[in-house]
Each structure stands twice: as C-alpha cells, then as structure tokens.
C-alpha cells in the first residue's frame, strides 16, 4: 500500500496503533511495527525514567520506525516530551496542548510529528506549529473523541489543511480503511481494535467483554475524567457519571495524580488552588478517572474501574494477533475497492 502516510513514516501499511495508556506498551507497539504499521507508545501515565526505559525496550523488540505520544494537558508532561526528544524517537505524537516547540526540536534531529486533534481550529493551529501529519479523532472514538463524527469531521478537515490526515474513531476493518481513504485521509489510527488483540495487555475479561458489546454499549461523558470521553457502559462508568464532587476533593485526589506521574505534590496542590472552581473540579475528575482507567484496564474490573472503548466495538467479535488484524484489513480494503469499482 502507498499513501502519504506510508511514505512519510517509511511503513508498509497506513495503519496506526493509537497511544493508549497501560495498553500501547513496547510489546504491542513492536508487534504493530513488525507487522508493517506504526505503533504509538503511550507515555501519559509514565514517569520520565519509565518513558526512557519503555523507549529503549521498544528498540530491543523492533528495528522498524515507531512513535511515542505525549498528552500536554497532563501535569509534568513536558519532562516526558524531553525524554522522547532526547531519545530521538522517529515519530512524536502530541495532543491537548501547543506543540510548536516539540515540532522544532523533533525536526532538528530529523524526526516527524503527528498532532492529534478533534476540531478544525486545533488542526489549523497544529499546521501553523509545524506538525507533519494530523490524527483527526471523531465522536465514535474510545476516550477523547470530538463532538463531530469521523464521517463528517475527516473530510471537513481534509478540505482545509495541507497536512496528511490520519482518520481515527470508528475504524476496525478494511471497509473502514477504504472509507477513510475515500474521505481524503491517508491512513487510519485504531484503539479499540488493537486493544482486543492477542498481544494487547488489557485484562483478558475486557477482550471478551469488547467482543460481546454491541454499538450501543458505550457512554460519552465529561464526568469520568473531566473531559468529554467515551467508555464502555458499565456499573463503574455509570457510577462515576452520577458522582458529585466538590473542589476540595481535587486537593485530596491530587496526591494520587502526583504520585502516579512522579510530580511534586505541593506544586500540583498550589496549582489547583490557583485554578478556580471549574478547573479544579476537572482536575479532581482526572485523578479519579486515572485510577478508574487503571483498574478497568489492568484488573478488568468494571465495577470499580472503567474502560475507554469506541462504538466500533460493536463490529469486533474476535481476538486475533496484530499481524492477522493488519493483513486482514489490507485484504479487506482491496476487496472493498473492487466492490466499489464494480458499483461506481
Ligand atoms: C482501552 C483504551 C484506552 C485508551 N487510552 C487512551 C489514553 O490513555 N490517551 C489517549 O489519548 N487516548 C486513549 N485512547 C483513545 C485512543 O487513543 C484513540 O483515540 C481511539 O481509540 C480511536 O478510536 P477507536 O477506539 O474507535 O479506534 C484509548 C482507547 C482505548 C480503547
């Protein structure tokens, strides 16, 4: 397959593994790279020294290009970005923040930058800031998809930017890849599909749950981690949606976030006190959400925890290897093309 994305990153298939905390580990990233796609290593919940270790471990598992992500909204994320840059990771993916300095520093060593966006405003900002490609995430997606569905969001952004677009949110098979290319995208990025693969470290029960879900088994809410996001509809996610918080809980919860990210607690607590009512509530939800993601992902507990999942889970009914997923998508996309050609 040949698209602007395969050319830009030197990969065989325009298929990308999204950066998913606790899931997009060196093993899963390397499996995707070795199968000819591009894996994005998730560093959102890692301390800087863990980020370095994960990057080095990925390099022992694959000689192919890979990416690492940084979520600029998280406290202390700049330190992770610095590690990724010092390690000269071939592709850097940033989200939820201004990445002009990341583009400058990554380009200085010959790397490429992908910005993840959910709106045209942020797509244009990323283009101005020097990104080489965009991941455009629609409403169907697991986690923080935008307000607009991929079917509408992707062509609306493709029409307005010069950068190659990677469509995310609602893709799991070759029909989806062919549709994304028809909408003007140059590739797809998938979370839910790769989460349910043999190599994925998510708890086995969640792979089974994901295989059984239909397209209605998700909720989209800002009450779990403070930003609008999609999760599996479970007792855990419904409980968090109904949970009332007061700003003081942000201070209590901030200890957990600081510990998880290796960030000085006092600095975070002072930051929260200065944030004002709305932002500090958001911070409290983020801390609770972090804990709940971990329990949902690692322990497979859908009562105390939550699992981000996309609507596309409704058409996923098996747990293949990463290689099988990628090769199957490639074949299905070619079959879809033949069907289209005969119909058009
Ligand atoms: C289990 C799971 C965990 C995720 N964790 C994160 C995360 O930590 N950070 C993030 O930016 N996106 C996260 N996502 C969202 C993906 O990066 C991606 O945007 C989304 O999965 C794409 O839509 P799809 O699920 O329809 O393929 C997660 C997705 C899943 C399925």
The secondary structure of the chain in percent helix, strand, coil, rounded to multiples of 5, reads 50, 15, 35
Position 244 scores a pLDDT of: 79
Of 96-110, 145-159, 239-253, the one with minimum mean pLDDT is 239-253
Residue 250: pLDDT band with limits 50, 70, 90: low
Q: What is the dihedral of CA 14, 5, 94, 319, to 10 degrees?
A: 0
Position 264 scores a pLDDT of: 74
Distant-in-sequence, close-in-space partners of 285: CB < 8 Å, separation ≥ 6: 222, 223, 224, 225, 226, 245
The string of pLDDT tens digits covering residues 259-297 is 766 667 777 777 766 666 666 677 778 778 888 999 999
Position 278 scores a pLDDT of: 67
Q: Which numbered atom of ligand 1 lies nearest the CA of 137? A: 19
| Residues of the chain above pLDDT 90, percent | 80
Residue 102: pLDDT band with limits 50, 70, 90: very high
Position 251 scores a pLDDT of: 67
What's CA 247's distance to the chain center, in Å? 28
Residue nearest to atom 8 of ligand 1 (CA): 21
In the chain, what are the domain boundaries?
4-203+317-343, 218-299
Position 166 scores a pLDDT of: 98
Which residues are registered as beta bridge partners of 136?
A: 117, 167
Over residues 40-55, mean pLDDT: 95
Residue 84: both structure tokens together: 């990724």
Nearest-angstrom CA–CA distance, 218 and 308? 9
At which residue do the structure tokens 């990025």 appear? 189
Residue 116: pLDDT band with limits 50, 70, 90: very high
pTM score of the predicted model:
0.93
- Cβ–Cβ < 8 Å for 319, 207: yes
Nearest-angstrom CA–CA distance, 217 and 16? 24
Distance (Å) from CA 19 to ligand 1 centroid: 7
CA atoms within 13 A on the CB side of 91: 30
Is residue 329 pLDDT above 70, yes or no?
yes
Which residues approach ligand 1 with their CB closer than 6 A?
Answer: 18-21, 23, 42, 44, 71, 95, 137, 140-144, 168-171, 190-193, 195, 307-310, 312
Over residues 55-68, mean pLDDT: 98
Position 298 scores a pLDDT of: 94
Residue 257: pLDDT band with limits 50, 70, 90: low
Nearest-angstrom CA–CA distance, 5 and 70? 20
Position 105 scores a pLDDT of: 98
Which residues are registered as beta bridge partners of 168?
A: 137, 189
Residue 133: pLDDT band with limits 50, 70, 90: very high
Over residues 190-196, mean pLDDT: 98
Q: Which numbered atom of ligand 1 lies nearest the CA of 191? A: 21
Alpha helices in the chain (DSSP H): 4-9, 26-34, 48-61, 77-86, 100-108, 120-129, 150-158, 174-182, 192-195, 204-212, 235-242, 248-261, 265-275, 277-294, 322-343
Over residues 118-138, mean pLDDT: 98
Q: Does domain 4-203+317-343 have CATH number 3.20.20.70?
A: yes
| Ligand 1 mutation pick, 15, 20, 74, max ligand atoms within 8 A of CB | 20
Angle at 228 between CA 224 and CA 233, to 5 degrees: 55
- Cβ–Cβ < 8 Å for 169, 140: yes
Is residue 101 pLDDT above 70, yes or no?
yes
Distant-in-sequence, close-in-space partners of 87: CB < 8 Å, separation ≥ 6: 52, 55, 56
Is residue 247 pLDDT above 80, yes or no?
no
Q: Which numbered atom of ligand 1 lies nearest the CA of 293? A: 3
């Amino acid at each position: 397959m040949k698209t602007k994305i395969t050319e830009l990153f030197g990969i065989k298939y325009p298929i990308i593994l999204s950066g998913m905390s606790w899931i997009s580990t060196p093993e899963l990233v390397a499996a995707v790279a070795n199968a000819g796609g591009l894996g994005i290593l998730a560093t959102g919940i890692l301390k800087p020294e863990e980020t370095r270790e994960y990057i080095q471990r990925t390099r022992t598992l694959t000689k192919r290009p890979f990416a690492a992500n940084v979520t600029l909204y998280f406290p202390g994320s700049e330190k992770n970005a610095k590690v990724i840059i010092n390690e000269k990771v071939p592709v850097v993916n940033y989200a939820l923040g201004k990445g002009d300095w990341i583009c400058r520093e990554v380009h200085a060593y010959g790397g490429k930058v992908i910005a993840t966006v959910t709106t045209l405003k942020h797509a244009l900002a990323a283009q101005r800031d020097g990104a080489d490609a965009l991941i455009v995430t629609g409403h169907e997606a697991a986690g923080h998809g935008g307000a607009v569905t991929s079917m509408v969001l992707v062509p609306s952004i493709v029409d307005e930017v010069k950068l190659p677009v990677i469509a995310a949110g609602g893709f799991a098979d070759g029909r989806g890849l062919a549709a994304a290319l028809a909408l003007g995208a140059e590739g797809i990025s998938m979370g839910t599909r790769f989460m349910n693969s043999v190599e994925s470290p998510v708890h086995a029960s969640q792979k089974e749950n994901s295989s059984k879900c239909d397209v209605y088994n998700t909720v989209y809410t800002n009450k779990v981690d403070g930003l609008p996001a999609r999760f599996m509809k479970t007792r855990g996610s419904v409980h968090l949606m109904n949970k009332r918080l007061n700003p003081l809980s942000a201070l209590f919860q901030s200890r957990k976030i600081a510990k998880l990210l290796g960030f000085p607690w006092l600095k975070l607590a002072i930051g929260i006190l200065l944030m004002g009512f709305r932002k500090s509530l958001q911070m409290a939800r983020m801390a609770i959400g972090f804990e709940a993601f971990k329990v949902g992902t690692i322990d497979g507990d859908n009562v105390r925890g939550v699992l981000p999942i996309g609507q596309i889970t409704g058409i996923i009914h098996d747990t293949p290897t990463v290689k099988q997923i990628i090769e199957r998508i490639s074949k299905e996309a070619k079959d879809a093309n033949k069907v289209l050609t005969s119909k058009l």
